Amino acid sequence: MDTGCDDWAADPDNLVDSYLHHCPAREILAVLADKWVLLVLGVLRASGGPVRFNDLRRRLDGITQKMLTQTLRTLEREGLVRRSVYPTVPPRVEYSLTELGADLGRVTHLLGTWTIEHKDEILTARTEFDERQEAAPTPV
Give the DSSP letter string of 64-130. Answer: -HHHHHHHHHHHHHTTSEEEEEE--SSPEEEEEE-HHHHHHHHHHHHHHHHHHHHHHHHHHHHHHHH
Strand partners for 96: 82
pTM of the model: 0.79
* Domains, the chain, with CATH or none: 34-135 (1.10.10.10)
Burial of 72 (0-12, 13-18, 19+ CB in 10 A): buried
Q: How many CB atoms lie within 10 A of CB 64?
A: 11
Tens of pLDDT, residues 16-73: 666 666 778 788 888 888 999 999 999 999 998 999 999 999 999 999 999 999 999 9
Rounded to the nearest integer, the mean pLDDT of the chain is: 87
Q: Which residues of 120-131 are buried (b: 16+ CB within 10 A; e: fewer)?
A: eeeeeeeeeeee
Tens of pLDDT, residues 93-138: 999 999 999 999 889 999 999 999 999 999 999 999 999 998 878 7
